[in-house]
């Protein structure tokens, strides 16, 4: 099946008892057994729930993976992946990444004896220098947040294979519509389902998709043992959101490309960060591994003053100033004071995250209206 067909049909079947075309919300904590141990595959909803099962199967199909697991948030999914490690293990991570990921690495798992190296990942040879016998995980985010750098997924996946290190891609920004990390040789794909997969700013959820049976069994054990599972109502909402993922992503990408062009020609804009621009340093890799360039972009203002960024963010009317991304409505944010405030200023500067940097999550409105809003807010 092609992507759009999978988005609508994969993992879901009409309800056998009624024919209901939409997966019911199985709002139940437990399931009746005929005699002890004699059940229909469902015992308790932390372990399994039919609405969640449908969503997990749908996500696995979209990422071309064998197994899908859903969690109460993207952070709960990250937490579960890190619980594959033990004290003494080392992780290599890209240095430009979601602030919450940086926080759970440095403020939670570092306290359990796991060592993290944060490095740029544009050159696999440089990454290889950090691999030693304790290295167990390589964490990628591409496009990165908020600088929209692109990592060559295949090159890093090959490195992982060569040294038997698990490779992970946080695929939140791209979604499986734009790139398929498992097909490029990565071991684990992780999502903040909260963003594009849900797509309507009404759910917080996370997911993990992978092919390895043993690792999947361990992660399923952790999902049940630690218990950060989503409820059936949220699973239903995401199943609904996924049905239009391909349509939404096309419009997100078209709108973002036009806005990137508009901004790059604006006299008050200093730099535009968008992998679809031919001036982007990783444009060629983006073109090779992504179907299109996504709905996220960032830009800086000439002079790099925090007050100018603030004024812009106060003046926008269609773009809402808010955390998060990937919904149908356009959002804007200021990473240095919002999503990335948990990263110390000197770490931010090392990663090239400027004070005036504004991040846009371009929605699916009419692009002419969005451009007009940006034009008047920049002034």
Ligand X SMILES: *Cc1c(COP(=O)(O)O)cnc(C)c1O
Residues annotated as catalytic (active site), given as ranges? 46, 98, 170, 195
In the complex, minimum distance from the CB of residue 135 to ligand X, in angstroms, rounded to a whole number? 22
Select from 22-30, 87-95, 191-199, 245-253 the region that touches ligand X (CB under 6 A).
191-199
- In the complex, minimum distance from the CB of residue 23 to ligand X, in angstroms, rounded to a whole number: 22
Q: Which residue is nearest to ligand X (CB)?
A: 74
Residue 8 φ/ψ region, left for φ over 0, alpha for ψ in the -120 to 50 degree band, beta for the rest:
alpha
Residue 65 sits in the site that holds ligand X (CB under 6 A): no
Q: Which is nearer to ligand X, 181 or 308 (CB)?
A: 181
Binding footprint of ligand X, residue count (CB under 6 A): 16
Note whether 73 binds ligand X by CB under 6 A.
Answer: yes
CB-nearer residue toward ligand X: 205 or 269: 205
Shortest distance (Å) from residue 231 CB to ligand X:
14
Q: SS3 for the chain, per residue?
A: CCHHHHHHHCCCCCCCCCCCCCCCCCCCCECCCCECCECCCCCECCCCCHHHHHHHHHHHHHCCCCEEEEECCHHHHHHHHHCCCCCCCEEEEECCCCHHHHHHHHHCHHHHCCEEEEECCCCHHHHHCCCCCCEEEEEEECCCCCCCCCCCHHHHHHHHHHCCCEEEEECCCCHHHHCCHHHHCCCEEEEECCCCCCCCCCCCCEEEEECCHHHHHHHHHHHHHHCCCCCHHHHHHHHHHHCCHHHHHHHHHHHHHHHHHHHHCCCCEEEEECCCCCCCCCHHHHHHHCCCCCCEEEEEECCCCHHHHHHHHHHCCCCEECCCCCCCCCEEECCCCCCCCCCCHHHHHHCCCCCCCEEEECCCCCHHHHHHHHHHHHC
Asked whether position 255 contacts ligand X by CB under 6 A, the answer is: no
Rounded Cα distance between 145 and 194, Å, is 15
Name which position in 204, 226, 228, 371 contacts ligand X (CB under 6 A). Answer: 204
Binding mask 20-59 for ligand X (x = CB under 6 A): ----------------------------------------
Nearer to ligand X, 70 or 378 (CB): 70
Residues in the chain: 379
Spatial distance between the Cα atoms of 350 and 120, rounded to a whole number of angstroms: 10
Least gap, CB of 323 to ligand X (angstroms): 8
Scanning residues 80 to 119, which ones bind ligand X (CB under 6 A)?
A: 98, 100-101
In whole angstroms, the minimum distance from the beta carbon of 192 to ligand X comes to 3
Which residue lies nearer to ligand X by CB, 33 or 337?
Answer: 337
Residue 88 CB, shortest distance to ligand X, in Å, is: 26
Instruction: Check binding of 75 to ligand X (CB under 6 A).
Output: yes
Question: Among 11, 50, 68, 74, which residue sits at the site for ligand X (rule: CB under 6 A)?
Answer: 74
Exactly one of 11, 176, 206, 327 binds ligand X (CB under 6 A); which one?
206
Quick check: 361 binds ligand X (CB under 6 A)? no
Site residues (CB under 6 A) for ligand X, limited to 133-172: 141, 145, 170, 172
Q: Per CB under 6 A, does 231 bind ligand X? A: no
Alpha carbon separation from 364 to 167, 195, 246, 256, 259 (Å, rounded): 32, 14, 12, 9, 12
Q: Which is nearer to ligand X, 189 or 269 (CB)?
A: 189
According to DSSP, the residues that pair with 358 across neighbouring strands are 299
- State in angstroms the smallest separation of the CB of 171 from ligand X: 9
Taking the least distance from each CB to ligand X, the nearer of 325 and 377 is 325
Is residue 289 close enough to count as binding ligand X by CB under 6 A?
Answer: no
- Binding window for ligand X (CB under 6 A); candidates: 68-76, 110-118, 256-264, 313-321: 68-76
Phi–psi pair at 304, nearest 5 degrees? 50, 45
Residue 144 tokens read as 């990165």
Residue ranges that bind ligand X, judged by CB under 6 A: 73-75, 98, 100-101, 141, 145, 170, 172-173, 192, 194-195, 204, 206
């Amino acid at each position: 099946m092609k992507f759009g067909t999978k988005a609508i049909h994969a993992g879901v079947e009409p309800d056998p008892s009624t024919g209901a075309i939409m997966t019911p919300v199985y709002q139940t904590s437990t399931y009746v057994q005929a005699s002890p141990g004699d059940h229909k595959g469902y015992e308790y909803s932390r372990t399994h729930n039919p609405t969640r099962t449908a969503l997990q199967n749908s996500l696995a199909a979209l990422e071309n993976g064998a197994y899908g697991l859903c969690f109460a948030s993207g952070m709960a999914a990250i937490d579960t992946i890190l619980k594959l490690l033990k004290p003494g293990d080392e992780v290599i991570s890209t240095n430009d990444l979601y602030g919450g990921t940086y926080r759970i690495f440095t403020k939670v798992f570092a306290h359990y004896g796991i060592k993290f190296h944060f490095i740029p990942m544009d050159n696999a040879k440089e990454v290889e220098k950090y691999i030693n016998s304790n290295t167990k995980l390589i964490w990628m985010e591409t496009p990165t947040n908020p600088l929209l750098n692109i990592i060559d997924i295949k090159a890093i996946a090959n490195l992982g294979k060569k040294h038997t290190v698990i490779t992970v891609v946080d695929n939140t920004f791209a979604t499986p519509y734009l790139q398929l990390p498992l097909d490029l040789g990565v071991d684990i794909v992780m999502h903040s389902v909260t963003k594009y997969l849900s797509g309507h700013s009404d759910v917080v959820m996370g997911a993990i998709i992978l092919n390895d049976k043993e690792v999947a069994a361990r992660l399923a054990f952790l999902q049940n043992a630690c218990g950060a599972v989503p409820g059936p109502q949220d699973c239903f909402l995401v199943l609904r959101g996924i049905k239009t993922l391909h349509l939404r992503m096309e419009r997100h990408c078209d709108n973002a490309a036009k806005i990137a062009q508009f901004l790059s020609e604006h006299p008050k804009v200093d730099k535009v960060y968008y992998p679809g621009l031919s001036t982007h340093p990783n444009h060629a890799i983006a073109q090779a591994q992504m179907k299109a360039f996504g709905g996220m972009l960032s830009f800086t203002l000439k002079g790099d003053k925090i007050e100018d960024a603030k004024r812009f963010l106060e003046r926008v009317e269609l773009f809402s100033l808010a955390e998060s991304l990937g919904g149908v409505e356009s959002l804007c944010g200021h990473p240095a004071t919002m999503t990335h405030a948990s990263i110390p200023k000197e770490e931010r500067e090392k990663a090239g995250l400027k004070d005036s940097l504004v991040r846009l999550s371009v929605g699916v409105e009419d692009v002419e209206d969005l451009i007009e809003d940006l034009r008047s807010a920049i002034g």
